A and B are shown apart, each in its own frame.
Chain A
Amino acid sequence: DAKTTQPNSMESNEEEPVHLPCNHSTISGTDYIHWYRQLPSQGPEYVIHGLTSNVNNRMASLAIAEDRKSSTLILHRATLRDAAVYYCILRRSGGYQKVTFGIGTKLQVIP
């Protein structure tokens, strides 16, 4: 299974943009890049995913490197509610894939 690497923690000032990096150098051509976040005392929630092109939704943007070996989750204006653990994973279509979430990046937002 392809692995992802993220920093353990990051800090951001409130109302500033946040760029959360993820490395996935062993990604295969059929792997989609997914991001999730986990607020305290809750299960992870889906944020965004993409394959090759950059993606935007109401929660965030996903920038994918041209060689697909890294990606960046962009929160355009961090709020205190964005303080959470963010996970980057890879998954492909099919019923047999085992996906491990790892430790993720703990984002602290400073007022």
Chain B
Amino acid sequence: DVKVTQSSRYLVKRTGEKVFLECVQDMDHENMFWYRQDPGLGLRLIYFSYDVKMKEKGDIPEGYSVSREKKERFSLILESASTNQTSMYLCASSTRQHYGYTFGSGTRLTVV
């Protein structure tokens, strides 16, 4: 019954590497989101997309980019990973209406 799938549960990458985090949803949702979660800071929005090939910056987009070539898939890209990007990354999707978000289980990324 998994609806939002994040490709990796845990990732370890080296500083300077290009990192791809993948998210797939099977609910035909228009909106998709990437958040990061750090202790004491809650969930902070990185980017969101309201349609294929469309993207909007969230609160903390610096150091990240995104890609949405297909409706069901939303990728987060770290062009050159840094240690301050070590975090839990959460993907979510929703319809355009006022209904709830569905989250993935998260990817815990460690940059060494």
Contacts and interface: CB of A to CB of B under 8 A. Distances in A.
Interface of A: 32, 34, 36, 41-46, 49, 51, 87, 91-96, 98-104
Interface residues of B, number: 30
A43 to B, nearest CB: 3
B103 interface: yes
Given A34-B101, A49-B100, A95-B96, 7 more contacts: A36-B101, A43-B106, A44-B101, A95-B50, A95-B51, A96-B50, A99-B45
Contacts of B99: 49
A43 B96 contact: no
Nearest to B6: A43
A43 B51 contact: no
Summarize A's interface: helix, strand, loop or mixed.
loop
Interface string B38-80: 0011111100101100001011000000000000000000000
Contacts of A101: 35, 42-43, 45
A104 B98 contact: no
Contacts of A91: 98
Task: Give 9 nearest A-B pairs by CB, closest first.
Answer: A43-B103, A95-B50, A46-B100, A101-B43, A103-B42, A32-B98, A95-B96, A102-B42, A93-B98
A42 B106 contact: yes
B96 A94 contact: yes
Contact of B40 (A32, A87, A94, A103): A103
Given A43-B103, A93-B98, A100 B45 contact: yes
